[in-house]
């Protein structure tokens, strides 16, 4: 069977990943790009058409191929070194001018290219008419109309891929002045593409720097802007010939919706309402499934205990299986339905284009911190996991903005904290108050992040924010397949962590709770009991000064999901019985204070190492760790002691 390697390239929000999921379905895997100290997701998959296997690689979304950002560097390195058989460039048909900038660069790279025009229904609704045959002739590449969300144009696209198109011969020609300098530089660099990139970004060669200065003097601006203007001029000429707009009085539907969604008065309340509704849905739909899973683990524990007793297994083996493995692991897995639901709803909000609007809504507030709305995007991603959220800050323009965003992003309530909330909220709160309590925790994380950002801006990170330019994609109806894939991938990541991190952690806790041999399981005489008792007084003013809470907080540094597993292991009970036990050591007020501390204290070790990787500074990493723990203690103290004074204890 023949094999063709296909690379998918294009702007963010152009439907590239949607097309990837459409082509590969669940026949893909996720890894990391090799040789990068900072993690960037790499997606690869395959599909079979007739007698040919298409190996598909989803490149990071980029607005250009200059190689200046990590995503651009990865894309260019892959395209130049791996030399895929075909590159499919997905573009938004409603915003061709911006999207074709990458197309022109792909043509300049001399790659075999197919142009996939996506979102044509949106373009049609805006009265945009694209002559695909003329566009193909002018660019020298095949052009196919598709809809990534369904199978429209899919077969034709695959046929163009199988035809293995030759590189375009219609590469952009710059004006005479630039072409002369490109020809001179190409003698040194060996290729036209490298020559252009060298003239744009410079080199250590004094002669090339002299040429770049000459270009600046002649055109009155730096070479980067000169080449960008030439490229956009070329694109404008192509669009003038191949694209027309019907004057039918049609208005942009996205703009009409945005007048309300992003308005000064309604934008933020709508955002809060959507988040509150999200948590209510999670609880309402997830609770029955949780109960079924909980009952299943209870039955499993009883069967295991009976079987081990019948086989005359030692008591420590029964304790290990029932208390350590089933009790600890089951107390985490029981929350999988709720976690899947949350990721599913976040995927719907992201794929619909709404989350990009949240950044615009928050722009006014973020400017008070010396940031801009774009900084809120990593914070939103923090609802899923702190690690990719921290890495997302690399897209910001200045070091000051990146570092400030990195330091406040971990305050956002990641999915790993969700099992703790679900456990305690389910025990101590009922009905409509459950969603309200969950909503208050997420909102508190945002407020603490913004307050901390304001303090840091006034002290360590003084300066003004850069200009805010964020593209808002058109509103789209998310596909069932797309959101299921996104939610499934993130839920699988949770299960993977359960196996790789949480499972060994609960076994370690069981061992520490059983040593020295002969002591009562998890008693004050055990190793873990002594450790918990030693640190418990620190948390007494916060409302949870008992040993098990202290141990759970320490183990939560490995992964926040372990907190629930810690309680299950330490008390040696399943999730249902765990509720009865925790009702004897927590009150609703102290449980809320505990959840606030879990929300705000330092994130897992993986997130802390990511902060070190992104900042390159142990000093800033230490500042983040100590600062978050101090802030968590202060806020929890205020909530608990304030609640006591108000009579809520």
Domains and CATH numbers, the chain: 2-162 (3.40.50.300), 176-245 (no CATH), 267-467+483-645 (no CATH)
At residue 638, the pLDDT reads 96
At residue 624, the pLDDT reads 93
Give 516: exposed, middle or buried? Use CB within 10 Å, 0-12, 13-18, 19+: exposed
As given in the structure block, the two tokens for residue 508 are 């370690």
At residue 144, the pLDDT reads 96
At residue 472, the pLDDT reads 60
As given in the structure block, the two tokens for residue 432 are 């409509």
CB 502 within 8 A of CB 561: yes
At residue 328, the pLDDT reads 61
Distance CA 86, CA 138 (A): 19
CA-nearest of 355, 354, 375, 349 to 363 is: 375
Alpha helices (H) along 243-362: 253-261, 267-310, 315-319, 328-333, 336-351, 354-361
Cα radius of gyration rounded to whole Å, the chain? 28
At residue 370, the pLDDT reads 66
CA-nearest of 557, 573, 558, 576 to 510 is: 573
H or E element at residue 29: strand 28-32
Task: Classify each residue of 44-70 as buried b or exposed e, where b means 16 or more C-beta atoms within 10 Å of its C-beta.
Answer: bbbbeeeeeebbbbbbbbbbbbbbeeb
Q: How many CB atoms lie within 10 A of CB 200?
A: 19
The set of residues, in sequence order, having a beta carbon less than 8 Å from that of 55 and lying 6+ positions away, is 3, 4, 5, 6, 44, 46
Residues of the chain falling short of pLDDT 70: 26-41, 67-68, 246-255, 283, 323-324, 327-332, 335, 364, 368-374, 388, 392, 394-395, 397, 463-474, 494, 497-503, 505-506, 509, 520-524, 558, 572-576, 649
At residue 56, the pLDDT reads 94
């Amino acid at each position: 069977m023949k094999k063709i390697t296909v690379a998918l390239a294009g702007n963010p929000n152009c439907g590239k990943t949607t097309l990837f999921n459409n082509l590969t379905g669940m026949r893909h895997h996720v890894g990391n790009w090799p040789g990068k100290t900072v993690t960037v997701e790499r997606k690869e998959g395959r599909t079979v058409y007739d007698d040919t296997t298409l190996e598909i690689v989803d490149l990071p979304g980029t607005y250009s191929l200059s190689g200046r950002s990590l995503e651009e560097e990865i894309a260019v390195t892959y395209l130049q070194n791996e030399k895929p058989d075909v590159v499919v460039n997905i573009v938004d048909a409603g915003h061709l001018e911006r999207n074709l900038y990458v197309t022109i660069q792909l043509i300049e790279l001399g790659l075999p290219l197919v142009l996939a025009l996506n979102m044509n229904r949106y373009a049609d609704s805006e009265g945009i008419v694209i002559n695909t045959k003329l566009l193909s002739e002018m660019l020298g590449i095949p052009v196919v109309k598709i809809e990534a969300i369904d199978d429209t144009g899919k077969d034709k696209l695959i046929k163009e891929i199988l035809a293995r198109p030759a590189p375009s011969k219609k590469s952009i020609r710059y004006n005479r002045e630039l072409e002369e300098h490109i020809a001179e530089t190409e003698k040194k660099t060996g290729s036209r593409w490298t020559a252009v990139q060298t003239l744009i970004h410079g080199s250590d060669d004094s002669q090339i720097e002299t040429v770049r200065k000459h270009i600046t003097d002649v055109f009155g601006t730096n070479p980067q802007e000169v080449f960008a203007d030439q490229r956009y001029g070329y694109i404008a000429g192509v669009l003038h010939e191949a694209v027309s707009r019907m004057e039918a009085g049609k208005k942009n539907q996205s703009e009409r919706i945005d007048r309300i969604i992003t308005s000064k008065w309604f934008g933020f309340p709508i955002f809060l309402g959507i988040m509150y509704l999200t948590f209510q849905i999670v609880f309402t739909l997830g609770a029955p499934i949780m109960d079924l899973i909980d009952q299943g683990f209870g039955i499993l524990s009883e069967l295991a205990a009976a079987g081990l007793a019948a086989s005359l297994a030692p008591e420590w083996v029964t304790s290990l299986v029932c208390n350590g493995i089933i009790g600890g692991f089951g107390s985490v897995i029981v929350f999988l339905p709720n976690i899947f639901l949350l990721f599913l709803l976040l995927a719907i909000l992201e794929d619909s284009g709404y989350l990009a609007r949240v950044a615009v809504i928050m722009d006014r507030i973020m400017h008070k911190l010396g940031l801009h709305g774009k900084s809120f995007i990593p914070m939103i991603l923090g609802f899923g996991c702190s690690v990719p959220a921290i890495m997302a800050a690399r897209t910001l323009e200045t070091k000051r903005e990146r570092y400030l965003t990195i330091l406040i992003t971990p305050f956002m309530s990641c999915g790993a904290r969700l099992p703790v909330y679900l456990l305690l909220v389910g025990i101590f709160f009922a009905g409509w108050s459950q969603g309200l309590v969950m909503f208050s925790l997420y909102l508190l994380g945002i407020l603490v992040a913004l307050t901390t950002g304001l303090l840091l801006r006034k002290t360590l990170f003084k300066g003004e924010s850069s200009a805010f330019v964020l593209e808002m994609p058109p509103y789209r109806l998310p596909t069932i397949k797309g959101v299921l894939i996104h939610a499934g991938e993130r839920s699988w990541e949770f299960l993977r962590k359960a196996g790789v991190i949480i499972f060994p952690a609960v076994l370690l806790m069981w061992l520490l709770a059983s040593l020295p041999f002969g002591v009562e399981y998890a008693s004050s005489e055990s190793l873990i009991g002594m450790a918990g008792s030693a640190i418990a007084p620190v948390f007494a003013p916060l409302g949870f000064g008992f040993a098990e809470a202290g141990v759970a907080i320490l183990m939560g540094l490995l992964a926040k999901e372990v907190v629930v597993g810690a309680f299950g292991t330490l008390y040696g009970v399943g999730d249902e019985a765990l509720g009865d036990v925790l009702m004897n050591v927590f009150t609703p007020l102290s449980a809320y204070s505990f959840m606030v501390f879990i929300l705000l204290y330092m994130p897992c070790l993986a997130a802390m190492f990511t902060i070190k990787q992104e900042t390159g500074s142990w000093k800033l990493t230490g500042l983040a760790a100590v600062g978050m723990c101090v802030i968590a203690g202060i806020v929890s103290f205020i909530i608990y002691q304030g609640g006591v004074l108000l009579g809520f204890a």
